[in-house]
Chains A and B, each alone.
Chain A
Amino acid sequence: MLDYDIKYLKFKTYLSTYCPHCNKSFNVKEKDHDVLVYKAVKDGEAFDLRLSPYLDVFEVETTRPLAQGDVLDDLLCPGCNQSLVEPGLPCGECGSKVGKITISAYSKLLPFFVCLKYGCEWHGLTKADERHIKLKIPRQEMPEQDQKLRVHNFLEVPYGLTTELAQLEAGRCLQCTKPKCVEGCPVGVDIPTMIKLIREENYEAAARKVKERNVLPAVCGRVCPQEDQCESKCVLGLRDSPVGIGNLERFVADWTMKMDLIKPPLQPKRLNKKVAVIGSGPGGVTAAADLAQLGYSVTMYEALHEPGGVLVYGIPEFRLPKAIVHFEIEYLRKLGVRVELNSVIGYLYTIDDLREMYDAIYIGVGAGLPKFMNIEGENLCNVYSANEYLTRVNLMKAYRFPEYDTPKPEGKDVVVLGGGNVAMDCARNALRCGATNVTIVYRRSRKELPAREEEVRHAMEEGIVFKLLTNPIRFIGNDINWVKAMECVKMELGEPDASGRRSPIPIEGSNFVIDTDLAIVAIGTGPNPLLFNTTPELERNKWGYIRVNEETMETSIPNVYAGGDIVTGSATVISAMGAGRIAANAIHERLSGEAKEQPAT
């Protein structure tokens, strides 16, 4: 077997080898290919030993026949006749003597070892040298759908890593003894072990490893801002680009999904305790899965007709195919979680009703109240909130109108207000719904764009225009009350505000008008008051979000926990999942009276 740690070399180079003593090359040109020629000694007899310079072949030929398992007495340089045997270093596989040669890799001369036993294919580098080489393997990018084609369909843009690319990428990992990446992960996925298992081609085990800590790996592999989390901590990132952890996570999740290998863990002993989870978004799903695995009877309530929360109504099909969300929710059902759709908590049941029915409650309803600019003309026809626009297109599948009954919001000149991921989603969605020009209007500069770098790049590639340092003042309607234009003002950046971002100031007299027939307001969300109308005693902070004990996520009402956007305001999928996990642990601690680590899958 070939050692995995250097398998990557086969994609890049073949060996140029030199004698460490006289520096003469062992490579000999023979007709149309190279061979490496050494002088071998066995039973006092010297003869030529020829090796293939290609690492994945590494065939040994000798002028004197050798039997399988024979160990050479010595290996000499044919030039200077000095012994190449390195004393004190045994072969990593069979323990025989090894010969030390020098190779040139990435214009560096490095020591390299080959086993002297015939039939043993071990060869390798020292740990330190491996690092030198690994730094030089570039980060493997995911193949993507062509930018001209993709704006006309709703298929996913990145195709995911192939097995070869995944191996190459996994090979870059240094397997640090004190991995920093795990610290960067809000749910604490054991990333190095996952990567190690990928290298061993044990993708199923790798996926199970991820699933232990993260119930939605296929989702997080796609939508997590890894560049701010695990990948930002990767030591490779200090000098080069970090390991593509998210891409690898996506790879193993997709692989097992394709092979249909994810099996739910054995049913734990049922505890006679019931927990209600409000909202089936990423936070609710994590809390529900954790609690179900501990043996609780979990019921998850969802207001819409499909489970998944923001994953189904918010994130577009081309970024997160809905089939994946369904697959992950199906896993939750297999764990024994009951999913109650069409149940609006606050109306159908109040928190008080639920407290009578359940031992604990987790609130993960998200921040579902769209913010508007409160400018003139915002209620004109064809001015949408991002929530409405995305819900129509994603959840109600309006992009397949008239096959689906919900009408598709259409416009030729679309403007999107805001610079976050949701704004990018809206803009790219609009393009796919048939818009000719899509413009993103954002009041700060490129540097301050809150969207993920990848999303901004995808949007730019697809031809979306960015009007930065621009702020809308009013919408202008036509005679039948449809939006026809938007008046804007140019901005400049002033002093940094409390959040550290430089606050934009309007430049007087720089007003101009953009023609538009479809405007989408994507400037964020606030807390939806629906739940609080019937539960006014639920304490909230000055922005209206639920106030919780940060260590346990417990609210002001005992045994009622909350997490995700309804506590923090608009954030990421993974941070909601992290909150769900903390709450699940706290609920378990409270209900069982014992502190226990995460269940093993």
Chain B
Amino acid sequence: MFEVLRHEEMAEGSIVRLDLSAPQIAQKAKPGQFVIIRANEFGERIPLTIADADAYSGTITIIFQIVGKSTALLRGFRSGDYIKDVVGPLGKPVEVEKVGTVVVVGGGTGIAILHHVTKGIKAAGNSIIGILGARSREYIIMEDEMAQLCDEMVITTDDGSYGIQGFVTTALQKYLDERFDIKLVYAIGPIIMMKNVCKLTKPYGIRTMVSLNPIMVDGTGMCGGCRVSINGHTKFCCCEGPDFDGHMVDFDELEKRNNMYLKKEKDSLLFAIR
């Protein structure tokens, strides 16, 4: 049982932040790793990236968007409630070394994960350009925290209500054209965003890392449900990922596999409402 220490809703309640008391996981968690959470006895096991970990206070932070039954269920947890199972830290941590200038691109909830990763990239001594994107102003999260880490930061919104109007790719294009010292791009966000970022950086030959979020069950490499095609080879995202070289990822396959249970998700929600 893992106690919820803090509950916070962001972006008009569509994104939730939970701080959990999990001292052992907090001790070990590194940027880029994730946990698998099962909210209660009937719950599904869902992977959620660790957005922050504090070894001293023994807490981990998860930030997630409400997309289906399980995340809606987790949203109901308030401070003092207990979550049944939290497993982790899982997955390979982000491998960062000093390369020079790194562009970090975050979309929507992806910004929460990007924040933890950026901390790692910053700590390795890189200078950072941040690009944050969302639908509109309300959906930009963790702006201040990111601003502290980035040497330069741009915000884009689809409707232009804040920052530059357009997608993150619009801002990224500008940087790619203007700056020649960019050595690495780190993109975390919706599949379509990561796909477009990779498409954009490919002609420039800039290494682009993405963090994938396939459907998982156990998270330890036992089931193979999270398999993704990397350069034509099948990889298990839970142990060999979640970060991969974006130029090799088959995003279309990932997107289709992630939509596998959409109908079931609806059934499950309908059942819960009834």
Contact = CB atoms under 8 A, between A and B. Distances in A.
B256 interface: yes
B260 interface: yes
Contacts of B264: 401-402, 407-408
A92 B159 CA distance: 100
Given A406-B44, A530-B239, A344 B220 contact: yes
A412 interface: no
A369 interface: yes
A436 B274 CA distance: 29
A481 B223 contact: no
Given A348-B88, A405-B268, A396 B223 contact: no
A405 B85 contact: no
Interface in B218-261: 218-225, 227-229, 234, 239, 253, 256-257, 260-261
Interface string B153-177: 0000000000000000000000000
Interface string B1-27: 000000000000000000000001100
Interface residues of A, number: 40
A379 B90 contact: no
Contacts of B218: 303-304, 313, 391
Contacts of B70: 405
Interface residues of B, number: 45
B69 A347 contact: no
A342 B42 contact: no
Contacts of A368: 220-222
A180 to B, nearest CB: 38
A348 B24 contact: yes
A303 B87 CA distance: 8
B25 A369 contact: no
Interface in A383-428: 384-385, 387-388, 391-392, 396, 401-408
Interface in A25-63: none
Contacts of B265: 407
A480 B257 CA distance: 10
Given A305-B84, A372-B234, A405 B221 contact: no
Given A370-B224, A391-B222, A392-B217, A347 B89 contact: yes
Given A344-B220, A369-B222, A385-B224, A405 B257 contact: no
A379 B257 contact: yes
B267 interface: yes
A378 interface: yes
B179 to A, nearest CB: 36
A155 interface: no
A401 B73 CA distance: 16
Given A305-B87, A342-B87, A379 B229 contact: yes
A382 interface: yes
Contact of B85 (A305, A347, A374): A305
B86 interface: yes
A447 to B, nearest CB: 30
A351 to B, nearest CB: 14
A348 B272 CA distance: 34
B3 to A, nearest CB: 14
Interface string A112-156: 000000000000000000000000000000000000000000000
A341 B264 CA distance: 29
A480 B268 contact: no
Contact of B90 (A304, A313, A347, A406): A347
A529 B253 contact: no
A344 B217 contact: no
A370 B90 contact: no
Contacts of B98: none
B42 A405 contact: yes
A404 B42 contact: yes
Contacts of B88: 344, 347-348
Contacts of B80: none
Interface in A302-342: 303-305, 313, 341-342
A348 B25 contact: yes
Contacts of B217: 388, 391-392, 396, 406
Nearest to A306: B85
B220 A387 contact: no
Given A374-B234, A391-B218, A407 B268 contact: yes
A432 B116 CA distance: 45
A305 B84 CA distance: 9
Residues of B contacting A: mostly: mixed
B222 A405 contact: no
Residues of A contacting B: mostly: loop
A283 B28 CA distance: 28
B220 A530 contact: yes
B223 A370 contact: yes
B271 interface: yes
Contacts of A529: 221, 239
B224 to A, nearest CB: 4
Interface in A466-488: 480-481
Interface string B54-77: 000000000000000110010000
A381 interface: yes
B134 to A, nearest CB: 28
A445 interface: no
B87 A381 contact: no
B45 interface: yes
A385 B19 CA distance: 34
A528 interface: yes
Interface string A342-382: 11100110000000000000000000111010100011011
A536 B218 CA distance: 23
A305 B38 contact: yes
A342 B86 contact: yes
Contacts of B257: 379, 381, 481
Nearest to B73: A405
Contacts of B222: 313, 368-370, 387, 391, 528
Contacts of B45: 305, 396, 406
B43 interface: yes
Contacts of A369: 221-222, 224
Contact of A381 (B33, B44, B256, B272): B256
B54 to A, nearest CB: 17
Nearest to B42: A404
A387 B239 CA distance: 16
B87 A528 contact: no
B256 A372 contact: no
B93 to A, nearest CB: 10
A342 B221 contact: no
B236 to A, nearest CB: 8
A343 B84 CA distance: 14
Contacts of B267: 401-402, 407
Q: In the complex, which of the residues A374, A378, A406, A533 has the most CB atoms of chain B within 10 Å of its own CB atom?
A: A406
8 contacts: A303-B87, A313-B222, A342-B85, A370-B224, A403-B42, A406-B45, A528-B220, A528-B221
Given A303-B220, A304-B87, A407-B264, 19 more contacts: A305-B45, A305-B87, A342-B86, A344-B88, A368-B220, A370-B222, A370-B223, A381-B260, A387-B222, A402-B267, A402-B270, A405-B44, A405-B69, A405-B70, A407-B44, A408-B264, A480-B256, A529-B221, A533-B239
Interface of B: 24-25, 28, 33, 38, 42-45, 69-70, 73, 84-90, 217-225, 227-229, 234, 239, 253, 256-257, 260-261, 264-265, 267-268, 270-272
Closest 4 CB pairs of A and B: A407-B264, A388-B223, A402-B271, A368-B222
